[in-house]
Structure 1
Amino acid sequence: MTLATITDVTVYSGGRWLPGTDVHLADGRVAAIAAHGELPCRGEVLDGHGGHLTPGLVNTHTHLFQAGLRGIGEGLGLLAWLSAVGEEAVRLTPERAYAAAAAAAAEALRSGTTTLVEHMWPHPSAEVHAAVLRALQDSGVRAVLCRGVADRADRSRKWGFDPRLMQPLQEALAHTDELIAQARGSRVEVGVAVPNPRCLTPEGMGTVRAYAEERGLPVSLHLLETTTDDTMCRDHAGVGAVAYLERAGFLWDRMLAVHCVELGAEGRAALARHGVGVSYNPLSNMRLGSGIAPVPAMLAAGLSVGLGVDGAASNDTQDILEALRIGAYLQRAAHREADLFGFPEMFAMAAGGANRVLGIEENPDGGVRVGMRADLVLHRFDRDYACLPVRDPGATLLTCAGSRTVAAVLVGGEVLVRDGEHVRLPSRQLAAGLARWDSCGG
């Protein structure tokens, strides 16, 4: 049995901040939350005095390989940007994939992400996928690695996917089974990723859903990031994107729909009817000029909404605290309501808004509770005078905290980040891997 105690910390639990608290951990879970000194400390002691402890956050959407593509396609709209990124995806090698994925995972952890959902583009190389899986395992982050699939080719990406990155659907799914076996026993689970509704034929949708349901896997799908999905589906299939998916039986309660900027009332009702979850990615939607997802209307329709950071080619960081802040501010500006999405609402969204869909342990109020996995973040706001004074810890976390205030990050009770540095993966090693990006594989 592994034991540890975080002592004399202010912990966010049950919607309140509890000062002078000890949080006792055992076998990777929170075993007890008690007043400081009430229970004896056992195992490793992490001094939390002056710090604030929260659950780790869940990044519901990223593309790890894009850590090697920061700044690419700046100023381009979605389709032109996708073309630029696609050329780099074709050039992806196992060496590049590992370097980018390791750096992105470490960067995500540094800002308090303890679980991330990797949406891989379809790629025919088993070695590239193995490299990403190895990087995730080396980083120690908890992850859902969604393996990309498609069965309709189109070099333009308007009605299909780049044929250079495709392989027969059955081969891709067979390889997904291999990834499941390779990930077994680690903190990485496996899912399926679909680039957009246009990349699968109706027959392909049936195959993917049957495969995922048989194995209990989530499916991540880009949906209505712009109007392109609707336009192309109407041109080729005679109905909009959501109706196209629904008609093919490709909406269910293990699907995560990513972006949904152009999701109207009928679409929201359809997704809610089938239990689909949504990943809200405010920063990438802003950078690409895609628009603002109607998050209040999604929640009102009964949709589960989680927070996504997206890949570093459209953000250009993996800082989930930045996404937390901007995600709130963007909705306030759009709706002209200063009190929209305060800390409790945004933190609950980021800590567990879409966990049910993803098969991740749920955290309805975003607080630390007994029995939960010990995926925890210790903030020290006095590490940055720009966060002082702290009148309200929640307001400080929402409005001005960042990776610089993160003193420690634990996943399953293991300290992975200490004083801004990843314990397993030194910054020098990660920087060297990204510096070699253009020389890896030619």
Structure 2
Amino acid sequence: MSVDTITDVTVYSDGTWREGTDVHLSGGRVTALVPHGELPYGERVLDGSGGHLTPGLVNTHTHLFQSGLRGIGEGLPLLAWLSAVGDEAARLTPERAYATAAAAAAEALRSGTTTLVEHMWPHPSPEVHDAVLRALRDSGVRAVLGRGVADRADGSRRWGFDPRLMQPVKEALAHTDDLIAAAHGSRVSLGLAVPNPRCLTPEGMAEVRAYADARELPVSLHLLETTTDDAMCREHAGVGAVEYLERAGFLWDRLLAVHCVELDAAGRATLARHGVGVSYNPLSNMRLGSGIAPVPQMLAAGLPVGLGVDGAASNDTQDILEALRIGAYLQRAAHRKADLFGFPEMFALAANGANRVLGLEERPAGVQAGMQADLVLHRFDRDYAVLPVRDPGATLLTCAGSRTVAAVMVGGEVLVRDGEHVRLSSKELSAGLAFTAA
């Protein structure tokens, strides 16, 4: 169901909370915010009284297939964990790819994610990628689907990628054109996903960059999640990871660098000079023992930073509100500052931090006329554990969660109501995840 008017709601707009507001929608966009009752309602009304309305959030990094791998490799260091996940990726079928992507997208929506960025691992089966696109379209979420690509094989994943999952770059890019055509007219756009700097040769980087530039696509790249990128690049190429990328011309304003835990001051300056964006994934970095990304220093250097949840094999949920909270708390603990990353700063990071780099619509500080109607309605009285509400922003940052989400809209269409996905049933999603790992 699409909504024409959300009535009598407290709405977050221009950095403040406006009570008693009617929000009018048309054509998938917000058309007006007016005092309650000032304008006639449309035919399809959502009662917002007692609720709090915000823009939806953008999960800048996930791996959807990992919703079938929760708990895998618990306690393993990154490379060993990657090996365990790689074994499961090699077994991925189109049926499992669809089931896991649909479940992950529905779970993400349930916590107020209205846009997600899927970083697919390279995989030789076009049908696997096609299945993920179908799942995203069926879920209704807005998404950037990053099609995996790599051209340097190494079973150890130290200087290359799992050879079982490799596909010639030209074939991967040709299939990306097919995906672009298949996604046309939907809420899904395409990008490319590179496992890390070690998985592309300089020649591969040039080919991927030229392809992305010609089609104005974003590219997602794991970078400096640990010290391995730098160590391997220095061993094999004689320079650190950032310089390796820069020499190959693989730093530009449509590149999203994911994690960047080990990004030093020189690296931050280099990425900022090229307009590169960063995806901050606090829970995954904690779970895998990678460390704490220097987010305040990144922002000070002028880097656009968005929030990422990462895949369910390293988080192990798709709850963006949990990532919002822990992302703030982790920085406060690291810097010993309780006033670091309050609600306005964290919400801006999560709703708009890397949108420009990803080719997504840039969003203002709250709901405003003209924006895409990607909206989340919270009802704090659904859970006594978040009451009383002294400051709605503080409540959202410190204790709200999927249990307070009453409705989620993408393009004005209600996709989640009272915790349930409208298009995809919980029973079917659960059944899709009932397979036993081989």
**In the superposition, relative to structure 1, how do residues 100 and 437 fare at CA in structure 2: closer, same or farther (>3 Å)?**
farther
Partner Cα distance (2:133, 2:171) in 1:
18
1:80 counterpart = 2:80: yes
- Tell me which residue corresponds to 1:329: 329
- Tell me which residue corresponds to 2:238: 238
Instruction: Give CA-to-partner distance per residue, 1:308-331, whole Å, 9 cap, x none.
Output: 000000000000000000000000
Mapped contact 1:3–1:27 kept (Cα < 8 A): no
- Tell me which residue corresponds to 1:413: 412
Partner Cα distance (1:319, 1:361) in 2:
22
- Tell me the amino acid that sits aligned with residue 416 of structure 2: V
- Tell me which residue corresponds to 2:283: 283
Secondary structure, aligned partner of 1:284: helix
Secondary structure, aligned partner of 1:161: coil
Mapped contact 2:29–2:412 kept (Cα < 8 A): yes
- Tell me which residue corresponds to 1:177: 177
Mapped contact 1:126–1:175 kept (Cα < 8 A): yes
Instruction: Give CA-to-partner distance per residue, 1:312-359, whole Å, 9 cap, x none.
Output: 000000000000000000000000000000000000000010000000
Q: With the length of structure 2 as denominator, give the TM-score of the two structures.
A: 0.99
User: What root-mean-square deviation, in Å, do the aligned CA atoms of Structure 1 and Structure 2 show?
Assistant: 0.7
Partner Cα distance (2:204, 2:427) in 1:
44
Deviating above 3 A after TM superposition, structure 1's stretches of 4 or more consecutive aligned residues are none
- How far residue 120 of structure 1 moved from its aligned partner, in angstroms, is 0.1
- Tell me the amino acid that sits aligned with residue 118 of structure 1: E
Partner Cα distance (2:187, 2:218) in 1:
16
- How far residue 363 of structure 1 moved from its aligned partner, in angstroms, is 1.3
Partner Cα distance (1:106, 1:379) in 2:
17
Mapped contact 2:377–2:406 kept (Cα < 8 A): yes
Mapped contact 1:218–1:255 kept (Cα < 8 A): yes
Secondary structure, aligned partner of 1:134: helix
- How far residue 364 of structure 1 moved from its aligned partner, in angstroms, is 4.2
- Tell me which residue corresponds to 1:293: 293
- Tell me the amino acid that sits aligned with residue 340 of structure 2: L
Partner Cα distance (1:335, 1:265) in 2:
17
Secondary structure, aligned partner of 1:391: coil
- How far residue 192 of structure 1 moved from its aligned partner, in angstroms, is 0.2
- Tell me which residue corresponds to 2:392: 393
Secondary structure, aligned partner of 1:306: strand
- Tell me which residue corresponds to 1:29: 29
Partner Cα distance (2:399, 2:113) in 1:
17
Structure 2: gaps spanning 5 or more residues? none
Alignment of 1:238-277 (within 5 A): 238-277=238-277
Partner Cα distance (2:436, 2:321) in 1:
27
Instruction: Give CA-to-partner distance per residue, 1:401-436, whole Å, 9 cap, x none.
Output: 000000000000000000000000010110010013
Task: Give the total of aligned pairs.
Answer: 437
Instruction: Give CA-to-partner distance per residue, 1:115-152, whole Å, 9 cap, x none.
Output: 00000000010110011000000000000000000000
Alignment of 1:127-276 (within 5 A): 127-276=127-276
Structure 1: gaps spanning 5 or more residues? none
Partner Cα distance (2:159, 2:42) in 1:
59
**In the superposition, relative to structure 1, how do residues 324 and 3 fare at CA in structure 2: closer, same or farther (>3 Å)?**
closer
- How far residue 43 of structure 1 moved from its aligned partner, in angstroms, is 2.0
Partner Cα distance (1:399, 1:260) in 2:
25
- Tell me the amino acid that sits aligned with residue 146 of structure 1: G
Instruction: Give CA-to-partner distance per residue, 1:98-128, whole Å, 9 cap, x none.
Output: 1100000000000000000000000010110
Partner Cα distance (2:328, 2:43) in 1:
39
